[in-house]
Amino acid sequence: MAEAMKMRATMDGSVADVKVLIQHPMDTGLMKDKKTDKLIPAFFINQVVATLNGKTVLEAQWGVGIAQNPFLGFRIKGAKPGDKIGINAVDNLGTKYDGEVVVA
């Protein structure tokens, strides 16, 4: 589901500045559907792994408190232009979201 994810990685000195945007409702399970008055079940991305050239640099666990269409920014020291940065995410229903970007 690469279309659900946008990524950008640019060099900032010797550090790669990575920005990731994933389309996801991030439903908390606490909100009611206004039409049916029923609770919308929790539906959220709960694990995200970032890799640099296949090597894990960041492992994240998320709760329902991450905002809708999650944004994640991080900085990798020692990355070079041409390096590949990958993102693997999964939500609480097991749907996977993958993305890859080359450092510019």
Partner 1 sequence: MNQLRRAFLKNAGAVGSVAIAIAAGLLKPGAAFAAAWNSLAFTAKELTDAAKNAGYGGATESSDIQIKAPDIAENGAVVPVSATSNIPGTTSMAIFVEKNPAPLIAIFEFSNGIEPNISTRIKMAKTSLVRVSVQAGGKNYTNSREVKVTIGGCGG
Nearest CA-CA partner of 28 in 43, 18, 12: 43
Q: Does 43 bind partner 1 (CB under 8 A)?
A: no
Q: Please give the backbone phi and psi of residue 2, each rounded to the nearest 5 degrees, phi first.
A: -65, -25
Q: Which residues pair with 9 in a beta bridge?
A: 18
Q: Which of 59/104 has CB closer to partner 1? A: 59
Tell the smallest beta-carbon distance from residue 66 to partner 1 (Å): 6
Q: Does 4 bind partner 1 (CB under 8 A)?
A: no
Structure tokens at 29: 């399970």
Q: Does 46 bind partner 1 (CB under 8 A)?
A: yes
44, 63 in Cβ contact below 8 A? yes
For partner 1, the binding residues (CB under 8 A) are: 15, 19, 26, 28, 30-32, 46-47, 49-50, 52, 55-68, 70-79, 88, 90, 92, 96, 98
